Amino acid sequence: MQIIQLMVGQMGVFAYLVACDQTKEAVVIDPAGEEERILREAKDRGLTITKIVNTHGHPDHTCGNARIKEMTGAPILLHQGDADGMISPHAQQFAAMLGCAGTPPADQTLQEGDEVAAGQEVRLKVIHTPGHSPGCVCLYTPGHVFTGDTLFVGGVGRTDLPGGSWPVMYKSITERILTLPDDTVVWPGHHYGPSPRSTVKAERDTNPFIH
């Protein structure tokens, strides 16, 4: 399995290509701008994007959905808790304020425990981690967890946006993420910390927001 981390867009979002080495099928997580760069990266590696997955519905993480879907035909997957909010008038206003493109609606909604697959190797388990938004998810495969805007390296996501809640987020982080195996690599949604990735143990031991 390949994991390609790309910092894209004006908000410094981490987009990810997670690909099967055998079939070259790939999932793109949070295409958040610079869509041509994401598509070029996939093409250069011989990858075919078969699914678009958003860790949540905020426009800085979904603004590349339309272009990637147009160019690849890949469906958009999002947790049902953010499906309506992602295309609401408020979301459209928020996107315009950020200078981000809007997004088409989700083609498929996700729930806790669902699996997002690509090829023979990629199996991403959906872990519902509300708090930053009602439909935030982390995507877990043994050894790796993609945490979106729930957990950063040395930080956590904001909870002051509509649908956000610090007590809910704290519960999500401590009970759903930090209970994963110690050596699980944490792949965050933004490059806000001292390094682009971390581990569950490191965040459990040192993240100042959860102590």
The string of DSSP letters for 105-164 reads PPSEEE-TT-EEEETTTEEEEEEE-TTSSTT-EEEEETTEEEEETTEETTEE----STT-
pLDDT tens per residue, range 96-154: 777 777 899 999 999 999 999 999 999 999 999 999 999 999 999 999 999 999 999 99
Helix, strand, or coil (residue 53): strand
| Residues of the chain falling short of pLDDT 70 | none
Instruction: Give the per-residue pLDDT at 35.
Output: 94
Burial class (CB in 10 A: 0-12, 13-18, 19+), 130: buried
Instruction: Give the per-residue pLDDT at 88.
Output: 84
CB atoms under 10 Å from CB of 139, counted, come to 25
Instruction: Give the per-residue pLDDT at 89.
Output: 80
Instruction: Give the per-residue pLDDT at 24.
Output: 98
Instruction: Give the per-residue pLDDT at 111.
Output: 97
pTM: 0.96
- Exposed e or buried b for every residue in 66-97, given b needs 16+ CB within 10 A? bbbbeebebebbbbebbbebbbeeebeebbee
Residue type at 189 in one-letter notation: G
- Domain residue limits, the chain: 2-210
* DSSP letter (8 states) at residue 167: H
Token pair listed for 170: 């704290």
Helix, strand, or coil (residue 1): coil
Instruction: Give the per-residue pLDDT at 151.
Output: 98
How many alpha carbons fall within 13 Å on the CB side of residue 23?
Answer: 15
Share of the chain above pLDDT 90, in %: 84
- Name which of 100, 144, 94 is nearest 121 in CA terms: 144
Superfamily per CATH, domain 2-210? Ribonuclease Z/Hydroxyacylglutathione hydrolase-like (3.60.15.10)
Instruction: Give the per-residue pLDDT at 16.
Output: 98
3-state secondary structure 74-108: CCEEEEHHHHHHHCCHHHHHHHHHHCCCCCCCCCE
